[in-house]
Amino acid sequence: MTRKNLGPSVDRRKFLKGVAVAGAAGTVSPQIASATILAGAAPAHLPSSLPPTAQTIAAETGTPQAEVSRIGGVAGSDFMVDVIKTFDIKYLPANCASSYRGIHESLINYGGNKNPEFLTCTHEESAIGMAHGYFKVTGKPLMSLCHGTVGLQHATMGIYNAWCDRVPVIVMGGNDLDAAHRPPGVPTFHSAQDINALVRDFTKWDDTPVSLQHFAQSFVRAYKIAMTPPYGPVMISLDAGLQQEPIHNSGEKLYVPRYTPTSPPQGDTGAVKEAARLLANAQNPVIVVDRAARTEDGVGLLVQLAEALQARVVDMGGRMNFPKTHHLGAPLTAVNNADVIIGMELSDFWGVVNSYVDNGEHGIGINRFKIKPDTKLISISSVELNTKANYQDFQRFQSVDVSMAADAEATLPALIEAVKSAIPNDRKVAIERRGEAAKKARAEGRARTLQLAALAWDASPISTARLVMETWGQIKDLDWSLVSSSGNVSNWPNRLWPIEKYHHWLGGSGGYGVGYGAPASVGAALANRDLGRFSVSIQSDGDLMYAPGVLWTAAKHKIPLLAVMHNNRGYHQELMHVQRLSSFRNRVANLGDDMGPIGTSIMNPDIEYHKFAESMGWWATGPIKDPAELGPAIKEAVAVVKSGQPALVNVWTQPR
């Protein structure tokens, strides 16, 4: 498809021929022999036992007399690097692959391995996860390269998580389209007509450029689409021929299209006014947010809206939307008595106003409506602009009264002004009283939460509350960032830590694809390293075991990160599912030799995470089972991380 108009000078196929001729004098591989025959030369039948010829000896030991340039001009992938360098893409986490060797070589040699800098990854899922975490700290996307088939298959879950979590990643997969000319053997097995099809259901856009100018347009377009809210991953299939062939002079000069960021979509003026009217006149309005804040500014805007209304804010935690120390912060139960609820960038509005109980009734479970029947619902969600028919990351359909297909952060300034204008004078005293009641409710809730954290404080395995607070005790005086909390620690960080800044909490995977925590932590820690911040993660055992090689990547590239393990020695979610089903069916769960139903435990033998972290260049200690030993261990690890190294503390914990 793309191998056309080959110029008369040395091309990629002739390059292969040259290799074949040189190689034939030494050892003869089947591929090289084939290439030689295809090129029309007489097959050489040289037994391997013959001594090297004088020509071979000269070729291998002599000084070349003339500059070798088999490429026959400027490599096409050099131009690709020129295109990429017009964007401020600082890093390129990737697992190397032959199908993108052309651009790989251009990036590290022609491009000087800067903007982007290649980061060696041991798994494509790790590479995408790193890009995912990096974006949530910096707001800047990274790109990743992968083999178009098997590499992309490895990368898919990471791409799916990024899609669900509204995170832009520019993925490029190497592929060799020209079946008549691509090397036989593995390169042909690993080529496909349409590699992008694999991820089309959970990327915003994809393309297969067939010329260098097409690549320039595709890359700029891909970046622009990925970076327009709702953000999302994009995919470019990168033909191996296009990378490796020289730039052909067809009379048209190659250029890089100018990039202008797209302004995010704002809510319709009329809908914003109607939403403001409902909120301003409500007796008990509640704001529910998930990925409403895309930046620190978004947090500030939400505070303004909440304070203008003295409305309580339920933060579902997709991002750090609202300061946890603010008196208007509230648990989800706040919706129960609301008369107006505004949901911003919610993945699951249905779940906010309904509850589902998995009690096995009729094999399904029961649903309950948990708000008052006349409660008005307002939705602002950019995801309505970006849905797919097959894969879906929305939940059950929820009817609302005002629906805006718009970006929440971009709409907030207009909404705040509209709300301030719409508040009747006779409502102002009531609004002030609402704020006082919220302060009282928050103080009481805080005391209850702290007392709950005291339960099982001295237990072994160590309670998740203690795990979280012993960690907090050692980092609280630093400019910290909780880059990931994988597994489930009963949401203690959000309940107990003074999470106030956008980088204090980065949210979860988005798609609940387990294995996100470790690579996203490393990617976010990389971003924080450059910003001078301290990164800490709560790292679960099951999550780490999907692709633990990312630990090596962190050590290799000197990325400081404190990973405190929530090692409950099981896939706990699934463990409970099988237990629940056993009880529904009136059977005793078969535990085998483990503590959980067969197939759900990670024990016997217990994994010594600290040892394998050590083997990959980390400072590590554990397993910590005595809660009294936890604080000192974390303190030691913090000192290591401050010196620039990653450190892991393996802690045996309670299940949740």
Partner 1 sequence: MRHRMFRTALAALAAGAVLGNSAALATSSQKGKAAFMKYGCWQCHGTQGQGSVATSNGKVLAPDPLPYESFSAFVRSTNGAMPPYSEQVLPNDDLADIHAYLSSIPKPNDHTSIPLLSQ
Residue nearer to partner 1 on the CB measure, 16 or 467: 467
Residue 303 C-beta: closest distance to partner 1, Å: 22
Alpha-carbon distance of 123 to 107, in angstroms, equals: 20
Residue 481 C-beta: closest distance to partner 1, Å: 20
CB 603 within 8 A of CB 594: yes
Which residues have a Cβ under 8 Å from the Cβ of 34 and sit 6 or more positions away? 184
Which residues have a Cβ under 8 Å from the Cβ of 92 and sit 6 or more positions away? 107, 116, 117, 118, 119, 142, 143, 144, 145
Binding mask 445-484 for partner 1 (x = CB under 8 A): --x--xxxxxxxx-x-x-xx----xx-xx-----------
**Does residue number 443 form part of the binding site for partner 1 (CB under 8 A)?**
no
Give the position of tokens 């609301």: 338
Residue 555 C-beta: closest distance to partner 1, Å: 30
CB 88 within 8 A of CB 114: no
Residue nearer to partner 1 on the CB measure, 304 or 579: 579
CB 296 within 8 A of CB 319: no
The window from 187-195, 206-214, 390-398, 572-580 that contacts partner 1 (CB under 8 A) reads: 572-580
Residue nearer to partner 1 on the CB measure, 168 or 493: 493
- Report the residue from 249, 359, 392, 590 that binds partner 1 according to the rule CB under 8 A: 359
Residues 512-541 that bind partner 1 (CB under 8 A): none
Binding mask 206-245 for partner 1 (x = CB under 8 A): ----------------------------------------
Residues 485-504 that bind partner 1 (CB under 8 A): 488, 490-491, 495
Total of chain residues touching partner 1, rule CB under 8 A: 45
> Strand ranges (DSSP E) for 277-375?
285-289, 312-315, 329-330, 340-344, 354-357, 366-369
What is the end-to-end Cα distance of the chain in Å, rounded?
A: 54
Give the position of tokens 């802690």: 651
- Report the residue from 19, 589, 603, 607 that binds partner 1 according to the rule CB under 8 A: 589
Residues 28-67 that bind partner 1 (CB under 8 A): none
Helix (H) / strand (E) containing 546 = helix 541-546
Question: Is there a cis peptide before residue 187, judged by omega within 30 degrees of 0?
Answer: no
Alpha-carbon distance of 448 to 450, in angstroms, equals: 6
Residue 461 C-beta: closest distance to partner 1, Å: 7
Residue 137 C-beta: closest distance to partner 1, Å: 26
Q: For residue 518, give the nearest of 563, 452, 459, 585 by alpha carbon.
A: 563
Residue nearer to partner 1 on the CB measure, 219 or 492: 492
Residue 99 C-beta: closest distance to partner 1, Å: 43
Q: For residue 91, give the nearest of 70, 62, 65, 120 by alpha carbon.
A: 120
Kindly compute the dihedral angle of the four CA atoms of residues 507, 137, 395, 264, in this order, to the nearest 10 degrees.
150
Instruction: Return the amino acid letter for 507.
Output: G
Residue nearer to partner 1 on the CB measure, 23 or 351: 351
Residue 91 C-beta: closest distance to partner 1, Å: 34
Residue 441 C-beta: closest distance to partner 1, Å: 16
Alpha-carbon distance of 348 to 394, in angstroms, equals: 6
- Report the residue from 13, 17, 572, 610 that binds partner 1 according to the rule CB under 8 A: 572
- Report the residue from 50, 66, 389, 588 that binds partner 1 according to the rule CB under 8 A: 588
Residue 293 C-beta: closest distance to partner 1, Å: 23
Residue 450 C-beta: closest distance to partner 1, Å: 4
- Report the residue from 108, 405, 576, 607 that binds partner 1 according to the rule CB under 8 A: 576
Which residues have a Cβ under 8 Å from the Cβ of 292 and sit 6 or more positions away? 298, 302, 319, 321, 344, 345, 380, 408, 409, 412
Residue nearer to partner 1 on the CB measure, 413 or 445: 445
Alpha-carbon distance of 407 to 388, in angstroms, equals: 18
Q: For residue 627, give the nearest of 389, 456, 409 by alpha carbon.
A: 456
Residue 133 C-beta: closest distance to partner 1, Å: 23
Residues in contact with partner 1 by CB under 8 A are 357-361, 447, 450-457, 459, 461, 463-464, 469-470, 472-473, 488, 490-491, 495, 572, 575-576, 579-580, 582-584, 586-589, 591, 595-597, 654-656
